Structure 1
Amino acid sequence: MSAKESAVFDRQYRAFLFDMDGTLLNSIAAAERVWAAWAQRHGLDVEAFLTTIHGVRAIDTITRQALPGVDAQAEARGITEAEIEDVAGVVAIPGAVTFLQSLPAHCWAVVTSAPKALALRRMQAAGLVPPAVMVTAEDVTNGKPDPAGYLLGAKRLGVPIGECLVFEDASVGIRAGEAAGADVVVVTSTHWEPMATEHPTIASYDGVRVQCDAAGLLRLRPSTPA
């Protein structure tokens, strides 16, 4: 374990901030079905395009394509509606349900690039209870890798961002957490290939647990083998 990894597991935090897709739940198949159909309609290279969609807001993905005559706002609404309808195969990351249940309700938030309606639908499909604080696509002007979402999540929890631990899976989200000034843990459950990162990684939540002291401070710990 590197010094940076050890520091994350040794340090106490006041709150945990979680990305959603790829971090708390796996929605890859559903998202790629919807986006592949969209890409085909617009004559894009589907395989190459699908590598660009994860971790960012739909409006940002569409705007980045700079397609002539395309109303990005309308297209993003259409994508969201299609994704709300298609949650087949959306499941929680292993151990996520139990891990979240172990956290005090006022000590964690979700910070996602998904619109709120889609975030709630996917969390329901995955068997996850939404937290009291959620930052979604509608809440920020600039999506990840801009740090605005994580800064807002910490603010809504009433916690300095420097006392938060961010859980992420995608490079844009990791950069957002870094830019915000938080420590970051990378969840690799949905990664097909190893990610080169200086941050500590966890394959799932089965490998970690949380300790909460009398002052409400949280400490991430490796799970004790059975």
Structure 2
Amino acid sequence: MFAGRKFAAFLFDMDGTVINSIAAAERVWAQWAHRQGLDVAKFLPTIHGVRAIETIGRLALPGVDPIREADALLKAEAADLDGIHPIAGAVAFLGSLPPERWAIVTSAPRELALLRMKAAGIPVPSVLVAAEDVTFGKPAPDCFRLGAERLGVDARDCLVFEDAPAGIMAAEAAGAAVMVINATHQHALETRHTAIISYDTVSIAVDESGWIALRPERAVEAC
């Protein structure tokens, strides 16, 4: 697992990576998709890891304003926090990190991100990059580059924790190393990157310069 490598900082996606909000998100999006006459079962897998405005925009639905609809969805998601909980081991793992060496980089709007982190008991980092902070969302690398910049490091020296293909592509494009979190997948995501299903399987060591090494605690699933 990244043998002999140390990282300047860790960058975490939020939904599906440090919290499990799938049930809440899919409840809201399923209602929206039904109103639009979409095939709900086919549509729902496309919402994860991508900003709402881009998910709606690429549908090119006649008479649908992506900005207005994304705003309405934000309000609906902010009102539905039932069943949101942390990924196993995430709270303790984040708490073990030097505060100045990690950030959350999410496709969710800041308001929703803060509500979901509070609901899941996830600590709010000093650096939070949200949907409104970038012009182009994942799979563009802008968000991870911005997260690294705000921490004062280079994205190429970071380890990104992700669960969705769009986020993995964004991390790769930013030049970062990638750890895939399979905690919320019914079937393990096919990836060339190292993958884990729980933060209980990993720990860290911090050197005198503040760089972080990742260590396996138990068996790690490598895909």
The TM-score, its normalising length taken from structure 2, stands at 0.96
In structure 2, what is the equivalent of residue 34 of structure 1?
Answer: 28
Give ranges in structure 1 of 5+ residues lacking alignment. 1-5
In structure 1, what is the equivalent of residue 12 of structure 2?
Answer: 18
1 CA distance for matches of 2:199 and 2:188?
18
Deviations 1:108-149 (A, max 9, x none): 000000000000000000001110001100001111000000
CA contact (8 A) 1:211 1:221 kept: yes
2 CA distance for matches of 1:27 and 1:63?
23
CA contact (8 A) 1:10 1:220 kept: no
Percent identity between the two aligned chains: 58
In structure 2, what is the equivalent of residue 212 of structure 1?
Answer: 206
Displacement of 1:181 in angstroms is 0.2
Residues 1:154 and 2:145 are matched in the alignment: no
Residues 1:201 and 2:199 are matched in the alignment: no
2 CA distance for matches of 1:128 and 1:10?
29
Counterpart of 2:114 (choices 120, 127, 135) is: 120
Residues 1:165 and 2:159 are matched in the alignment: yes
Displacement of 1:194 in angstroms is 2.0
In structure 2, what is the equivalent of residue 139 of structure 1?
Answer: 133
Give the 3-state SS of the residue equivalent to 2:160 in structure 1. strand
Displacement of 1:9 in angstroms is 4.1
2 CA distance for matches of 1:161 and 1:32?
31
1 CA distance for matches of 2:189 and 2:132?
29
2 CA distance for matches of 1:44 and 1:160?
41
CA contact (8 A) 1:93 1:189 kept: yes
Give ranges in structure 2 of 5+ residues lacking alignment. none
Q: How many residues align?
A: 219
The TM-score, its normalising length taken from structure 1, stands at 0.95
Large movers: runs of 4+ above 3 Å: none
